[in-house]
Each structure stands twice: as C-alpha cells, then as structure tokens.
Structure 1
C-alpha cells in the first residue's frame, strides 16, 4: 500500500505536468507515492514524459472526460493508499508539502495548502458555501471590501484568513489531500453534472456531510500557474452555468430561480466584458449551453 495516491488529470499541459512530476519526490519526503496521470487529450503522448518516473503511470481516457470524469477514471486505477491527493497538472509542490499535509490530515480531515501564483503572490483559493446573499454580495461588491461579513461573499478575500489554520467550506481544486477512507465514503465525483467547474464545490460539500472537514494549512504553500489547459469565453460561461447547476443540486426550485437571477444580474452588470456576454447567452439559452465544453454529454 502506498502512502499517497496522486491523481492528476492532464489536458494539453505536458509542460506543466513535467514540472509537477519533478517536484513530487521532494514534496513527499519519506512517504511512498504513486501517480496516476489521466490523459484527457488523446493527441498528447505522455508515455515518454513519465517513462523516467517509475512511480507514475498514464491512463488514457480516449476522449476529454472533463475534470471530474478524469478523476473518477484515475481513482479506478489508483493503488490502495492511506491518502489520495487530487492535483492540477499546472501545480508545483514545495519540499515536504505532501508530508506536512499527510500529518495534518490523519484519517479524519481533508486538507489544502495556501496557493501562490508563479510570481509568489497569494491566490484567493478559499471559499464559503454558495448562498443567495453571498452571490448578491459578490455581484455588487466584486473584490472590494475584503473585510466584509462572511454572509456577503463567497471568496475569502482577507489575507489574514490565509495565515491561520482553520476549516473552510471549500477551496479551488488545485491541490486537495483526502484520507482514502473518505474517498470511499463520499463516492465518485459528480461527472454527470460537472464537466468542469463546481465539481470541487460539490465534492467538498459531500466531504463535510460525511464527517470529513476541510482544513487550510498556512504553513504549506504551493505554486499554481493557473489556466494551464487554457481559458476562453466559453469556459467562463461554463463556470457561470455550473454555479447554477451546483445550486440547483442542493436547493429547491424557487431558491434556485432566485440564485440564477443573481448570476444573470452579475453578468449584466459586467456586460462590457466579452466573457460576461458569453455567460449571459449560455444562462439564457439552452442551445448555447449545450454547445459549451462537455455540453454534448
């Protein structure tokens, strides 16, 4: 049994993946580990890239299954382990980071590090559970007023929150370590609803519901380049659509309708941006939603 099974879903990011794999030995320290790389881009040949890493294997998806679908395929191929780590390919781990996370996680807690960008600046990666009031706060305030009440914002903006150990509702899915017992309790990621975006929101909610809180570790910092698999107006639109899909999964019809209205308003107020106009079209038109990445599924 390995100490850590690492699941990495790669889509057209061979450069980032190579950098990530180079950082794993130092991050793991004394822990044993095995990496399952799910190749969501059939045109990429990842075999030569992992050939020099005996602890790594490539699982060919045969198509772009999306992030959640790729994770589920990776989990099916992963060896027995004490901890499971979900990683984006554009992450660079720091020395001892996995070992520190494992000590904090034990058998009962999911953990995330603090994330910095490739310039060493803090990424606002910690989140609160989506609510109607938080969506309204983000719509009218954006990133202003970092110290505003927690009920008025989903993203945790205060830098002080990233300097202390504590529980959070969810965090962006660049690096999440979970006791493998929790993986079994929670079950597969929701690939039917979420091709990309909001899948980590849903997974963290289910972790909490099964008695596995999520804790941020300020002493563990990793670098995340971000957008390693690309970005586009269509991906931003999918992100907005999946916010509503997530809310609809866990709330009633009337509350979801109100939440949808706030998301629409958010994009109306920012319609000078092309990506917000693309989001509005997707939020308002079923045909355009179906044309988004993963929509045919």
Structure 2
C-alpha cells in the first residue's frame, strides 16, 4: 500500500470505527487493499468490542493498525482516537460497513487540488445491496423550523442526474475526507453527540472557520447502512431524538431556535408519541422521551 519511489501521491489515513462487527470491517479492509490508490494508511479503532478483532482484521489486511479503546467512545470519540494515530496529509473517515471502489480516493483528492477553500469532501454513496441506487449525492441544509434535513438523490436510481461537483452544507458521516491543515484549524469531532448528528455539527464548525464542503460525483463508495446499530433500534431512536435537539441548541441562534422548540413541542412530540403508542412500540416510546429529557 506504499507508493513507489517516484510517486508523489500524498499519504491518506483511512479511519474506521469497529464495534462488535469485525467480519463486516474485514470486508471493508479487503476492498481497501484492492483499491487503486497506492498511498494508504489504514487505521481501525475498536470501540471496546467484546472480543479483540485484531487477528481477524490483520488476516484481511496485514498492514492495518488496530487501536483498541478500553471503553466505547461512540462514533466521534472513536474517530478522534483514530486522528491521534493518523500520520497522513489527508484523513478519510469511513463507516466500517462501506466498501471502496477504484478512483474513490483520487477523486476526493481532486477536490482539494481544485478548490483551495475545501475543508471536507464526500463521495457519491450508493447502497451496497442496491448498487444502482443512490443514498447520498449531497445534503440539503437542516430546516431551521423542523430540525430535519434530507439527502439529495436518496433512493433514486443513478442515471447520472447528480453527476456534477457541488458545494453542500454537510458531508456524509459514512465517507468524508478532510485535509490535516483544515482539521487542525477546526478541531476534533464533537464527542457530546456519541452517535448521530456529530458530523453535521462538525461540518458547521468547518464552515465557521471559512471552509466549504463539496460533493464529488466522480468518487463512489458503497454503504451497507446501519450494520452496527440496526435500522430500527431503541438506541437509534434515543440518539436521533436527543441529538436533533442538541444540534439545534448548539447551532441555531434565537429567535429561530425558539420557533423550532415550539414546533417540536406542538407537533413532533405528540406525533411521535401517538405513533409509538398505536404501534405498541413502548421501548421506542421510552427511548424517544429519554432523548427529550436529556436536553431538559
């Protein structure tokens, strides 16, 4: 994975966080090993999994560096531990349930060469199990009233309709590359979120420092999605609720934040409470209310 003597490609540190999912992470490593970019430093942060995944991961990629945490630090904390171990000029944060394609790294690096104001770049993301279907081709901004946002192109069959480099409010947490210089000016991921919304908050911090965030259609990564938390789990309900409120508190100024709180109290709380009651999803109902209470 090291460049040849005459190669001037910058070293890219790829950082992934693993939690009790070593087999899926090993599939990521296999795709990285087969990738076209020659100068990669692969770091896996293990977030206190029940079993040490090192041997399994090294079987997939002998040169991988496994950093084991003694406690589960969450998505942001795990990535921040990876940052401490990384030596690359660029850092590429990827979910452990993604798989690389050729040209992925090269395309993202093109963004930083073309746009001096770029502080982050994310590739086109397609679903691994529906390989012609887009998950992410950029983001819409978070709605200041509802605290929600949507991904551009989500669930669309990819027919080239989003094949243009574009500035976007947010990179996608499943795959985002940052230059070390921008990272050093912006700071680490906000660990207060633990899971979900931390990359949106981090992007807000990059933009406050004057950086822009870009979507690169030339780069493609596949995403298996929610392999660690599950697509519908009480933990996911709790953190999405908790961190939606937290994000708005941290990033939306008055009076817009007051209007959001009114909306959330009058519409979102009754709607979600009723839905969980009608579906008899009491575990999700409790998780939803725990997320609210955390912010009080």
TM-score of Structure 1 vs Structure 2, range by shorter chain: 0.7 to 0.9
Partner of 1:111: 121
From 265, 268, 279, the counterpart of 1:266? 268
User: How far has the Cα of 1:173 moved from its partner?
Assistant: 0.3
Structure 2 distance, partners of 1:237, 1:260, is 18
- Superimposed CA distance per residue, residues 198-233 of structure 1 (whole angstroms, 9 cap, x where no aligned partner): 110011111222232111112222110011112312
From 119, 123, 148, the counterpart of 2:135? 123
Partner of 1:34: 41
Kindly report which structure 2 residues correspond to 1:248-263, keeping only aligned pairs within 5 A, or say none.
Answer: 248-252=249-253, 255-263=256-264
Structure 2 distance, partners of 1:172, 1:260, is 26
From 78, 101, 112, the counterpart of 2:108? 101
Structure 2 distance, partners of 1:116, 1:230, is 19
User: What do you get for the CA RMSD once the two structures are aligned?
Assistant: 2.6
Q: Give the length in aligned residue pairs.
A: 269
Change (3 A) 1:280 1:40: closer
Partner of 1:162: 162
Change (3 A) 1:230 1:183: same
Whether the aligned pair in 2 keeps the contact of 1:113 and 1:216 (CA below 8 Å) is yes
- Superimposed CA distance per residue, residues 111-162 of structure 1 (whole angstroms, 9 cap, x where no aligned partner): 11111112122114632332324x27x6xxxxxxxxxxxxxx5443575873
Structure 1 distance, partners of 2:169, 2:31, is 28
Structure 1 segments unaligned to the other structure (5+ residues)? 139-152, 291-297
Matched, 1:82 2:84: no
Structure 1 distance, partners of 2:249, 2:75, is 20
TM-score by length of 1: 0.81
Whether the aligned pair in 2 keeps the contact of 1:130 and 1:247 (CA below 8 Å) is no
Structure 1 distance, partners of 2:237, 2:72, is 18
Whether the aligned pair in 1 keeps the contact of 2:122 and 2:214 (CA below 8 Å) is yes
Spell out structure 1 runs of 4+ moving beyond 6 A: none
Partner of 1:43: 50
TM-score by length of 2: 0.81
Partner of 1:24: 32
Whether the aligned pair in 1 keeps the contact of 2:16 and 2:96 (CA below 8 Å) is yes
Partner of 1:223: 222
Q: Secondary structure at the match of 1:216?
A: strand
Q: Secondary structure at the match of 2:199?
A: helix
Structure 2 segments unaligned to the other structure (5+ residues)? 1-8
